Structure 1
Amino acid sequence: MSTPDPCAALLLDNQLCFALHSTSLQMTKVYKPLLKSLGLTYPQYLAMLVLWESDGISVGDLSQRLLTDPGSVTPVLKRLEAEGLINRVRSKSDERVVELFLTERGQTLREQAKALPGCILKASDQPLERLMALRDELLALRASLIKQS
């Protein structure tokens, strides 16, 4: 019986973080041409996904949903507004709060985006059930990591 190599734990290909990171990079590469046809970048797409779920939410709520800070999402929102997909409006009840509303064009884009999940499923070459189980495992891992931070 051989003794486990203590350095094996430091090999790049043995790192969960690298498996997640490199897979995320590849997923973004698959999305890029699909999103280009919609005129969106990946961060813009994520913001639009949230807005398609919850039109009229605040910038703070959007950034919480995306697990980012409001300052990093603001440039994305400014670009979406410049593209005519959203309107940013100061709240009437609290002027410190900026609310986000889809324009008609932003709502219409949702219909075009409906094809994307099928394209991603095809590109993954995995059964839907396996991808949903993987997603659930990743969400559980994320929840555990959030507890630690």
Structure 2
Amino acid sequence: MKLSFQEYISIQIHKTDLNLTSFIKQKLEGFNLAPEQNLIMLLLWEKDGLTQNQIAQKLGKDKTNIARMATNLEKKGFIKRITPSNDRRSLQLYLTSAGKELGEKVLPISEEFDEIVCNGISKDELQEFERILSKINENVQNSR
């Protein structure tokens, strides 16, 4: 039996992603921060000094994409990129004072966003959802 358009899980995930991205984009609009750039900043607010490679790995993005976003964040004055003396091929990203101040404003918005998205979903349901998403990602990775 052929699935209808709405029955494809990939369509449901895509619609949800678009909806979430649109919502967070609206919330971040006044901060000169795109949703994907916010992901990098969230990682740096958690642990400053990550390398571009570490960020690419954590976000599942290619290094070129991360380098481009890092350049944009640096131009905005939120981060600085430093080449560590022990590895000339690597670039570490550090928050500037403006980047740290931005975190004080954006982190509460990110936490509120998470609360809104997870409203009415139990801790057990969230764990099951994360397990299912991991399985989907694993299935895709194993099929490549």
Same fold (TM over 0.5): yes
Shift of the alpha carbon at 1:47?
A: 0.7
Q: Quick one: structure 1 residues 101 and 25, their matched pair in 2 at CA, closer, same or farther if it must change by over 3 Å?
A: same
User: How far did residue 84 of structure 1 move?
Assistant: 0.7
Alpha-carbon contact 1:87-1:100 (below 8 Å) kept = yes
Query: Which of 66, 77, 90 is equivalent to 2:83?
Result: 90
CA RMSD for the aligned pairs?
Answer: 2.0
User: What residue in structure 2 maps to residue 18 of structure 1?
Assistant: 11
Question: What secondary structure, in the 3-state scheme, does the structure 2 residue paired with 1:33 have?
Answer: helix
TM-superposed CA distance for 1:30, in Å, is 0.6
Q: Does 1:142 align with 2:142?
A: no
Q: In structure 1, the residue corresponding to 2:25 is in which secondary structure?
A: helix
Q: What is aligned with 1:61?
A: 54
* Structure number with bigger Rg: 1
Identify if the C-alpha distance between structure 1 residues 128 and 85 changes in structure 2 by more than 3 Å, giving closer, same or farther. farther
Pairs within 5 Å for 1:7-86: 7=2, 9=3, 11-86=4-79
> What amino acid sits opposite 1:101 in the alignment?
Y
Once residues 15 and 44 of structure 1 are traced to their aligned partners in structure 2, the CA distance between those partners, rounded to angstroms, is 29
Deviation at 1:60, TM superposition (A): 0.6
Give aligned-pair identity as a percent: 23
Q: Say if 1:113 and 1:64 are closer, same or farther in 2 by CA, change over 3 A.
A: same
Matched length? 141
Any unmatched runs of 5+ in structure 1? 1-5
Paired residues of 1:31 and 1:120 also in contact (CA < 8 A):
no
TM-score between both structures, scaled by the size of structure 2: 0.86
Deviation at 1:144, TM superposition (A): 4.3
Residue of structure 2 in register with 1:106 after alignment? 99
What is the aligned partner in structure 1 of residue 115 from structure 2? Answer: 121
